[in-house]
Amino acid sequence: MAFRDGVLAFAQPGALPAAALEQVIQAVRYLDVDEVRAKISGEPASRWHPERPRLGYG
């Protein structure tokens, strides 16, 4: 599993080859967490604010 700022970014059981693990690490580093949170909540990323309570997941 890989988390970024409290958001689950990757989950897959088992071992990964070194090259695949490096790809996962790079993808998690460049993940736009605000965009992911907006998709989870159904709001545009520009409207998401961490201080504002949200309904649903997150």
Share of the chain residues as helix, strand and coil, in percent rounded to the nearest 5: 40, 10, 45
Q: What is the pTM of this model?
A: 0.62
Domains of the chain: total: 1
Q: Which helix (H) or strand (E) holds 7?
A: strand 7-10
Q: How confident is the model at residue 18 (pLDDT cuts 50, 70, 90)?
A: very high
Is the pLDDT assigned to residue 54 strictly greater than 60? no
pLDDT score of 48? 53
Per DSSP, 26 falls in state H
Q: How confident is the model at residue 47 (pLDDT cuts 50, 70, 90)?
A: low
What average pLDDT score do residues 41-50 get? 63
Per DSSP, 30 falls in state T
Range of the domain at 52: 1-8+16-58
**Number of residues written out for the chain:** 58
pLDDT score of 28? 93
